Structures are given as C-alpha cells and as structure tokens.
Amino acid sequence: MTYCVGMMLSRGLLFMSDTRTNAGLDNISTFRKMHIWEAPGDRVLTLMSAGNLATTQAVVSLLDERSKASEDRDPSILAAPSMFQATQLVADTLREVIARRLTSGQRADSTFNATLLFGGQIGNRPPRLFLIYPEGNFIEASDDTPFFQIGEIKYGRPILVRAYNPDLEFSAAMRLLLVSFDSTLKANLTVGAPFDYHFYEVDSLVTGPRGRIEADDPRFVTISESWGDALKTALESLPEF
C-alpha cells in the first residue's frame, strides 16, 4: 500500500510520499513514489503515485521518455502550455498504460489500477494541484479542498482536517505531515519510511527544499514521541465518563 499527500499552501505546494511497496507480508520493498520534472525558469512539476507499481513505473517512464527531447517527443509535459493541459497529458498516459495491460494479459480491472497526485506551476500562471483517477478523469484542489491524499488515507486524515491552515510555514507544514504519516504507519504495516518530500515555493520556478526522512531521523523520532505523549496527556485531561 501507499500513503501520499499533496497540500496547497499560501507559499506554495508541499508533497510527501512513503516508499514502501509490498506483495504480501514477506515481500516488502522500497521504491520512490515521487517524481519531479523541472525546466528552471519555466516550470516545476511533481507527481506522486499509489497503486500497481508496474503501472506507475510505466507511466513515469513514458512521461520521462516523451520529455527528454521536446522537439521530437509529442506530447510532452515540458511543452504543455498550462497545468491543466499537462494534467490531461498525465491522465491520458495513465489511461493508456492501464488499457494496454488490460488487453494484453489479466482481465481483473483493479489489478492494474493506479491513482496519481500531480501539481506544480508553469510560467506566470498560479500553482495547481490535481488528483488523477485510474479512468483518466481528475479533480483540482481548491480553497474548499486544499489537500489530497492517495493510498491508505484514513489514518492520517483526522489531524490534517483539524490542523491544516493555508498560512502554515514550511517547517510547521512538515511537522503536520509527519504527524499524519506517523499515525498512518503505526496503524498500517503496508505504509513505511523513508518518506520523500518536496516543497515548491510559488513563482520560484525551481525545485525547492526536498529530501528523504528515514525512520530513525532524529526530527521524525522526536515528533513521533512528542505527539504520542501529547495525545496521552490530552486524553487524561478530558472529563471522566
């Protein structure tokens, strides 16, 4: 399973993904689920994926192949004039990959499914964030729905709903996401560290702070332990039943 979050903030877009994949309890591996394309001064695009690993890797490989030489590769996400058109291209690629597998092998529709989060900024247009479904349709984040989750979403959602604020600074937003991811991995063994993150700052048109947080990262360990202690203290302070 997977857990990924894309979040709209006043200062930009924040992305975080886990890296665990599994095909049973005794077959667990680590794969990167976040991919970034950058044309400095023109665009920065971030993609995160959940679902069938072969499908998502094929989608990323096709997008990579079609973006290496934009004059020879059409269509290309590095040539799309808007985030909407870039998202349509990614959605079409996902639908193409799934359809190809369905017609060449197994017939179980859900076997090859994948869901994507795609966001970024192109030129002087505002940053945008999209959730792309296996069927190739997609929805866009807004003030009413400022963040998207894919994968194992239920365990990490309550803290996001309660604590999200569009004016969060990068460090505070990272803390919020780490609490969300900590809650998820403690409740579901199919989600696990390390976690990849990327913060894109609005109008910068270059990649921002990015990196990988390991399970033993002192910052993550401190947040996890402090959050657990704070929950116990809050529970004990509630009126008795």
Q: What pLDDT, in 10s, does the model give residues 44-102?
A: 999 999 999 999 999 999 999 888 765 556 679 999 999 999 999 999 999 999 998 77
pLDDT at 237: 97
Q: What pLDDT, in 10s, does the model give residues 174-217?
A: 999 999 999 999 999 889 999 999 999 999 999 999 999 999 99
List strand residue ranges (DSSP E) for the chain, in order.
3-9, 12-17, 20-22, 28-30, 34-39, 43-51, 114-122, 128-132, 138-140, 147-151, 195-201, 210-213
